[in-house]
Amino acid sequence: MAMAKSDLSDLGTSMEWAVSEVQKQQAESLVRMEALRKQHLDWEAAVKSMLQQIRDTFSEEVETSARVELKRGSSTLSQRSTHFAGARELQKLRNSTARQDSPPVAIASSPTGPTAPSGTALTVRRHRTRSSENSRMLEEILSQPGSPERPRSNRIQGVLAWIVESTVFECVTGFVILLNMILIGAEAEMKVKGQVTDWAENIERFFLALYTVELLMRFAVGRWPLFRSGWFLLDFFLVCLGLLALVVIPTIEQGAQEGFEQVLIVRGLRLLRLARVLRMVHRFKVVWPHISGLLSAWDTMVSTTGLIMIWLYIFGCVALEFITTDAELLADPATTSIVKENFGSLPKATLTLLQFVTMDAIANVYYPLVMAKPVLIIYFLPLLMFLSIGLMNLVTAVLVEHALEHASQEAEHARLNQKQRSPA
């Protein structure tokens, strides 16, 4: 108990000492704050005194310079009295000075002209002279005819560009093309069944008018550089072909209409334009990489087709030597019909070997021949390996590579656009 009481007494003593220290610090803080307040007041008074001295010095300098300028120009005032004489000018000066809330200018007449005004009046006059010059310049600018308005043709071209480059315009164009294709199919079906299709000619003229207007709108926006675009050249070719078949030829020769109806089969090429429309629609963006891969792999497909044709021609010539003229195959009843029908000539042999590219029922061709003469497996095996398996799979791989490359480019382009839109 004694130890507990001693601990409590020590704790009370330490607390009293801590409180006294805090009170001392508060007192010192108050003293310092009072010193800072006095220092702030002294600084404020010093700043006000300095500002007053600057104002007095500036006003004295302005008045002195005005007097010097007045003395220099007093000798010429008499020669230019026409510019300052008259009550109207003096009244204007008084009115302008009064409007600016400046002290009134006291001017008295003298035998040689007006008496010298005060420094403030001279400063006002100089300011008024500069203001009048600026006002005169502004009035001259305003009095001039305004800048010519934007030519009407440019405004129309801007509106057409906004319409043509919009996604809605592309979608509407695609819908019109698709509707035209549906009606072309309906016309062909009705013609086969012997039904009346007189309505189709007028509808085709209507669609041709729409295509012509669309082509003119695109040309008005893009002008001559559009002829470098494959899409525009396709549109231009189809529209010219339609105008030739539906407008020009019927007006020249009435009987030629039936012959040119077959030419209008090319109208089906308009379906190619739907590929461009599919790219603009969000839900078809998954399909567009495949379409782009096909469009960008034309050189690969053309070179592959040429290689296939050379391969088929070589093997067709070999077939004429080893199959067409083979006595055993011609003597065998199971193979003689196959040899004559499929390898009777070079075109027949080449067309038969084309089945190995598509693998179209090729077993009916090579199986009886190999069973009758097994050595022919040496002839048919390279065809199966290189044409049916190797070359066609290689073409598929190239198409997939083009599609993946295009998808990578689209992703990189989207990433750059997102980076540009995001704030730095």
Per domain, the residue ranges of the chain are 154-285, 296-421
DSSP for 301-320 reads HHHHHHHHHHHHHHHHHHHI
CA distances (Å), origin 69, targets 42, 64, 82, 107, 281: 41, 9, 20, 17, 78
pLDDT of residue 109: 41
Nearest Cα to 77, choosing from 128, 134, 117, 127?
117
Phi, psi of 267 (to 5 degrees): -60, -25
Provide the H-helix boundaries in 297-391.
298-319, 327-331, 333-343, 346-353, 355-358, 363-372, 377-382
CA distances (Å), origin 363, targets 47, 321, 352, 353, 370: 110, 21, 12, 12, 10
Provide the H-helix boundaries in 223-256.
230-243, 249-252
- Band of pLDDT at residue 254, cut at 50, 70 and 90: low
Nearest Cα to 391, choosing from 303, 294, 300, 304?
304
pLDDT of residue 422: 73
75-106, pLDDT tens digit by residue? 544 444 444 444 455 455 455 544 444 444 44
For the domain made up of 296-421, the CATH class stated in words is mainly alpha
Least confident of 195-209, 267-281, 347-361: 267-281
154-285 and 296-421, same CATH topology: no
pLDDT of residue 63: 62
**CATH (residue range 154-285):** 1.20.120.350
Q: Which two tokens stand for residue 65?
A: 């310079």
312-348, pLDDT tens digit by residue? 999 999 999 889 988 889 898 889 999 999 999 999 9
105-127, pLDDT tens digit by residue? 444 444 444 444 444 444 445 54
pLDDT of residue 93: 47
Q: Write down the mean pLDDT value for the chain.
A: 74
State percent of the chain over pLDDT 90: 12
Beta bridge partners of 113: 110
Higher pLDDT, residue 69 or 156: 156
Higher pLDDT, residue 151 or 334: 334
State percent of the chain over pLDDT 70: 65
pLDDT of residue 316: 92
- Cα(211)–Cα(232) distance, rounded to whole angstroms? 12
Higher pLDDT, residue 137 or 410: 410
Question: 216-232 burial, b if ≥16 CB within 10 A, otherwise e?
Answer: eebbebbeeebeeeeeb
User: Residue 359, Cβ neighbours under 10 Å: how many?
Assistant: 13
171-194, pLDDT tens digit by residue? 888 888 888 878 878 887 888 888
Cβ proximity of 343 and 324 under 8 Å = yes
